[in-house]
Amino acid sequence: MSDQERYIRPPSAESEGRAPGRGRLKGRRILVVGGGQRTVDAETDPVGNGRAMCLLFAREGAQVAVADRDETSAAETVRLIEAEGGQGFVIQADISHESDVVAMVEQAAREMGGLDGLALNVGIGVGGLGLAAVTTKAWDQVLGVNLRGPMLCCREALPVLEPGSPIVFISSIAGLAAGSRLPAYDSSKAALGGLMRHVAMEGARKGVRANIIAPGLVDTPLGREATRGRPSRGAAPVPFGRQATGWEIAYAALFLISDESVYVTGQTLAVDSGMTGIS
């Protein structure tokens, strides 16, 4: 097959968010941190990873606490959940603030009557490209959100999570291979692996599992914005010939949140069409 005839993986019903739920999370109470999404162009924006996870988890029977620093965006996610007949509620929280994290976990557990799962879909990339452009302010800001924030979430959630509950971190293949040209972002995502493994080790005492999903290039509002700032991102070769959808990331998260992965912990799953494995 020539380059001109390169295979493009067609989207499935799951890829497009059209597949029905199968009750895989019936009765679960899940907190999704970063369940809103940034609006770039409201008319054309695809679904983001966090919103897709919230909708999918609710579609599969879970009650979902949608936490985001943007309360309006979180409320839109809840509106979409309720439009499908699901259950969700909004929590406004900025995980760079310790007090917000403490209040967020307490509110989620109180309003849902407990906590059976935690999905951490957080991450920012700020500052100039390359080491020469790094400032200590930008470095601390990125590490504060991308690493310190998830640590605080796990610290607060671990004591209240029901035995056997899953924790899923949404990271990036930038934590597995250099490429974003944002040193703080790459470093924070790589360090998230160390945090995840510790949480998995400590959580094992009560059967709490912790795993990472490392998305590759994903067609989300944030991804499109990143490509506008760095056009080479959009030109990167993808083995399956297209970027992932937010739904495809959400289905990977569903696997790790559900009992289908009950014997999986301390692992990183790259959802990147093979960019880190065969490219």
Mind listing the pLDDT tens digit for each residue in 32-55?
999 999 888 888 999 999 999 999
pLDDT at 28: 98
pLDDT at 174: 87
Known catalytic residue at 185:
yes
pLDDT at 34: 97
Mean pLDDT split into 10-residue runs, the chain, 279 residues: 70 95 97 93 90 98 98 97 98 97 98 98 87 92 96 98 98 87 92 98 98 94 73 74 95 98 98 86
Count the neighbouring beta carbons within 10 Å of the beta carbon of residue 164: 14
5 contacts: CB under 8 Å, gap ≥ 6: none
What is the residue extent of each domain of the chain?
25-271
pLDDT at 43: 84
pLDDT at 38: 87
Given the DSSP bridges, would you call strands 29-33 and 218-219 parallel, antiparallel or unpaired?
unpaired
pLDDT at 229: 64
> How far apart are the C-alpha atoms of 150 and 212, rounded to whole Å?
12
| Phi and psi, residue 186, nearest 5° | -60, -45
| Nearest alpha-carbon partner for 117 in 17, 51, 20, 33 | 33
**To 5 degrees, how large is the angle CA 231–CA 234–CA 238?**
150
pLDDT at 1: 46
pLDDT at 3: 54
Protein fold of 25-271: Rossmann fold (3.40.50)
Specify the amino acid at residue 272: D
pLDDT at 227: 66
Q: Facing residues of 29 across strands? A: 63
**Token match 């919103």: residue?**
51
Q: Please tell me which residue in 7, 185, 251, 263 is annotated as part of the active site.
A: 185
